Each structure stands twice: as structure tokens, then as C-alpha cells.
Amino acid sequence: MSYLVLARKYRPPTFADVIGQPEIVDKLKTALASGRTGHAYLFCGPRGVGKTTCARILAREFNKNAAHDQSMFDLGLPNDFDLIEIDGASNNGVDEIRTLRDNAQLMPMGGGVKVYIIDEVHMLSPGAFNALLKTLEEPPPHVKFIFATTDPNKLPLTVVSRCQRFDFRRIPLEQMVAYLKDLCVKEHFIADDDSLYAIAKASQGSMRDALSVLDQLSSTSSGKINMAEVNAMLGVVEIDRLFSLAEALIRRDCAASLRVLADIVSKGKDIKQLSRDLITFFRNLMIMKVGGTQLQDLIDYSASYKKMLHSLAGLSQMEDILFIIDKLVESNTTARIIDMPQLALEIAFARIAVIQTAAVPQPVPTALKSAPIQISAPVPVAAKPLSAPEKKIPVPPVLNNRGTLINEPVQIDQPEASSSQLTLSMIQADWNTFTHAVCQQSMPAGTYLQEGRPLKFDGHKLAIGFCQDHEFHKEFLEAPANLNLVAAAFASVFRQDIAINIILTEGTPQQNSEAAVNDVLAIFGGKVVNEWDSNDGLSKSY
């Protein structure tokens, strides 16, 4: 037996099985129940959203009382003489429509209603439309027309005015994902949520496109579908790479952004698609910055990626996001002029890194407003004995945990820390500095690590605790590559090599907030929502 593709195998047989078009289904069912049905219908909307399917179901409902109803229609391939389905793209001439007009005068063979379905009706020629107009306005009582089109603007108004018009919408992402999950269970496919979200998002609301992608993936992956295969087939850039590229742009690190871009290009990704994906990414970041989790339903990402996006929004300023969007949009215009999309993006990255620094004023820290402090020279350091080993380390311009403002990079002489000097309280005090350092290397790892807290330190091993509902964070950070990255960042910040142990704890790990902040939170019933700032990664927001 030949294989039947998913799009045909799971074509909805009744109105109850149609998804994503509740208003249209309700209106059609109401008209059928009242007996007040029109003689001509116009179904408009994007491809793959159910126009032809609803046309076939409606044709069947017109003839449900016919004697041979049960075998009258094969919804996958109509074969009854009383249902005539015409492809408007290939039968668009005057002669074909004249034949249709003549045959419409004949009585239906089954004694019911003769239904003409013309798909892609906008492809008919002007002469064909003119030949159809009279029959369309006053058809025989046994004839009904159902037109389907993806471009209703190309239809003559004389045709549109003679039809009852129904506008089909794109199927919502969440409904598509739920449907694909159910289908995977029926077909014994194995697919994670991120993969299904990627398929649904790439399909842009077209269920037929989504099923075609799922069909191809299932046939080439033995029923096991993962994000790597989805990205390879669709030719889209991995979401993790988008996060890395976005973070580099926000930090105005032109070198890092160019390296990520070169890596993406080397893998054969479409640069024009990357440009569109980047604009969409920063649009989502803008929405998350404006409304936080209250507007997350406007963002087409899975729950895990929305969490990462929310954390990145906390590290960003709205001025930065809007500026980056402007430059990325400008790059599309540049790409059309010079016909070099990669160069256009590289120019945009350079402009973001260079121009933004001078064009966009940076927010003044609160401490500066209340007690101005100016540092015009490197911080003086007491002389050390020649025998004492010292190490020069760079200190970024940050507001540290002791309230000292450093508004320009300086070099501080700091002795090497030893295992006897480093304590758990010291690690807790500089926890935000540490997680920010991890974020510079990996946005996901730094974001997840921010949810945990240091619980135990014996001089050689640090136990980091997460609450029970953060098991995904634990599994992510326990990956060997991520553990090595966290350990390396710890050694860079605290000058000591240790082992990292990730554990789950009962309740929520204690936040490392200052006493005054805790008092304010207790009075107003608030909570810490983010402890990073877009400039230094350390200032707290509540």
C-alpha cells in the first residue's frame, strides 16, 4: 500500500475537526442549521489554513441528505459527478468557464446539489470572469459555487459582491503546537517542544506546511526529531546563536558579533533570513522589555526560550534595543543597493558598536545622583613588599557590593587568593559578579545560574542550590561543557580552582539581598525580579 502523506491522512473530515477557524465554522454551521445558505461563497486567506478543506466539508453538508451520502465524497480526492473541483490556475480560460456554465444547467445526478469549487480563483482571466458573472449572479437553484483564493485583492469587485465572503486567519502557534504534539503521539514520533515550536513558527500559520515539514523530518530521522535536524532542514539559525549574536550587539562588542556572523555564514545559513530573524528577535526583546511576562503570549518562542529572553531584556535598555532595530532595518536597504547582504550586516554591526556609544546617553547610576564621586586617576594602592606576589587584574566600570563607584577602567593590585582566604560569605557577596562573568561566556548558563545560590563551600568544592522546579537548570548546568565554563569563570573571578556541584533543594534558595533592601521588600510585599544592570550587570531592580 502506498504511503499517504500526513496532510492528506489527517485532513479534517467534519467541521468539528477544523482547527484555528472557530468563527467561520460557527457561521457556516448556523447557516446550514437555519437553511439560509447562499449560492456563492468566497473563502480567502493564506495557504494551508483550511479553505479547500472547509469548502469540501460544506459541499458534503449541502448533500448530507442525499441517498448516496456516505460514499458521495472522498475528502482527499473528490470523485462524485455532483462535486466539481476546478484548479483556477490551470483552467483559467474563457472556454473552460463556458463549459462550466453550460454544464451547470444540467441537474445533479444524485438528486442533491451540484457544487463547483474553484481553487485559486483569482488566477482566472478577465474574460473568464466576465463569462461567469451572469451564472454567478443568478445560478440554477441546484447549483452552488465555492471559491477559494490566497489573493482576494485580484478579484473583480463584481465577483466579490456576488459572494458571501469568509476570511480565514493563520492558525495560532499554540494551537499548531498542540495539534502537532497529538499527531506525534498517534504516529509514534518523538519530538521535543522546542522542535515543534520551530516547525510551527517556520510554517507561519500554515498547517499544511507544518505537516509537510514534520513528514519529511520523520522520514529522515527514523521518527526521532530534534532541534539540530529541524534547523538543518529549515535553514534557519539556531536560537542559541541568535542569543549570542544579540548579546554581543547589546554589549557593543563588534568583534564578537562579527565572529558569530562568520560562523553562521560558514554553515551555509541564508543571510537574508538571518537579518529577518534578528529583527524579529529584537522585536520580541522590545516586547519583553515593555511588558515582561505579561506580554509573553505575543512572542513565538517556547517557555524555556521566553525565560532566557526575559533575562536578556533585564540586561538591556530600551534605547539600545530600538537603536539596534533601526540599524538592522537600514541594513536591509543597504543589502538591496549593494546586493551583498553579509557586508550590509557587518556594516550595521559596526555602526551599532561605534555610533551607539556616542549617540545614546547611558543612564546615570543612582549613587551618582545622591553623592557625586569623581575619579580622575587610578585608585592609589599601598606599597607592597617585593616578596609579596601581586597580580594585575582589570576591574570593569561597575558599582560594587560595597557601594564604591568606579566610573572608568583601572588596574588594581590584588594578591592571589588562597583556599584559606576564600569563604562562602565572600562568594555570596560577589555572586552577581560571578554570574555576570559566566553570562559573558554563555547567556543561557549565566541566566540559569542567576536562579541558584551558593549553599556550601569547603575550600575545594562549591555546592550551588536550585529549587525543585528548576530541574531543567540543573541538567543544563551539569553538562560537562557548562560545568567547565562555570568553573573557569569562578577561577577568573575568585582566583581559585574548585569543583562545582549542582543540587536541588527544598523551597527557594535564600536571596543575597542587603538588610535595607530586605526591610523595604518586607514593608511593600515586593520581591527581587532582577539583579543585573545593562551597564555593569550588578545593580539591582525590584
pLDDT in tens, 45-93: 999 999 999 999 999 898 875 444 444 444 445 446 788 899 888 888 8
* 525 neighbors 531 (Cβ within 8 angstroms): no
Cell of 436: 555576570
Which pLDDT band holds residue 527 (cuts at 50, 70, 90)?
low
Phi, psi of 140 (to 5 degrees): -60, 150
As beta bridge partners, residue 85 has 117
Identity of residue 373: I
Question: CA-CA distance, 118 to 146, in Å (whole number)?
Answer: 6
User: How high is the pLDDT of residue 523?
Assistant: 57
Pairing of strands 453-457, 390-395: unpaired
Map out the domains of the chain with their CATH numbers.
6-167 (3.40.50.300), 173-234 (1.10.8.60), 239-359 (1.20.272.10), 417-524 (3.30.300.180)
If one compares 286 and 413, the residue with the highest pLDDT of the two is 286
Pairing of strands 143-149, 40-44: parallel
If one compares 152 and 474, the residue with the highest pLDDT of the two is 152
Tens digits of per-residue pLDDT, 266-315? 888 888 889 998 999 999 999 999 988 888 888 877 788 888 888 888 88
Average pLDDT over residues 472-477: 82
Q: How many residues does the chain have?
A: 542
Identity of residue 256: A
Tens digits of per-residue pLDDT, 334-357? 888 888 889 999 999 999 988 744
The closest alpha carbon to 450, from 290, 310, 296, belongs to: 310
Phi, psi of 261 (to 5 degrees): -60, -45
Average pLDDT over residues 406-425: 54
Q: Does 212 score more than 60 pLDDT?
A: yes
Lowest mean pLDDT among 17-21, 187-191, 286-290, 503-507: 503-507
Alpha-helical (H) ranges within 225-338 are 227-234, 239-250, 254-266, 271-291, 303-314, 318-338
User: How high is the pLDDT of residue 12?
Assistant: 93
* Locus of grid cell 523595604: 520
Question: CA-CA distance, 204 to 206, in Å (whole number)?
Answer: 6
In the chain, the percentage of residues whose pLDDT exceeds 70 is: 77
Q: Does 371 score more than 70 pLDDT?
A: no
Q: Does 324 score more than 90 pLDDT?
A: yes
Q: Does 395 score more than 50 pLDDT?
A: no
Q: Does 219 score more than 50 pLDDT?
A: yes
**234-237 LR contacts (CB < 8 Å, sep 24+):** 234/198, 234/199, 234/202, 235/268, 235/269, 235/270, 235/273, 236/198, 236/202, 236/269, 236/273, 236/277, 237/264, 237/269, 237/273, 237/274, 237/277
Lowest mean pLDDT among 14-18, 47-51, 433-437, 521-525: 521-525
CB atoms within 10 A of CB 479: 11
0.85 exceeded by pTM: no
Tens digits of per-residue pLDDT, 12-31? 999 999 999 999 999 999 99
Tens digits of per-residue pLDDT, 139-178? 998 999 999 999 999 999 999 999 999 999 999 988 999 9
Q: Does 437 score more than 70 pLDDT?
A: yes
Across all residues in the chain, what is the average pLDDT?
A: 79
Q: Tell me, what DSSP letter sits at residue 469?
A: G
The closest alpha carbon to 55, from 141, 163, 145, 137, belongs to: 145
Which pLDDT band holds residue 377 (cuts at 50, 70, 90)?
very low
User: How high is the pLDDT of residue 74?
Assistant: 43
User: How high is the pLDDT of residue 521?
Assistant: 55
User: How high is the pLDDT of residue 416?
Assistant: 46
Question: CA-CA distance, 420 to 418, in Å (whole number)?
Answer: 5
* 416 neighbors 427 (Cβ within 8 angstroms): no
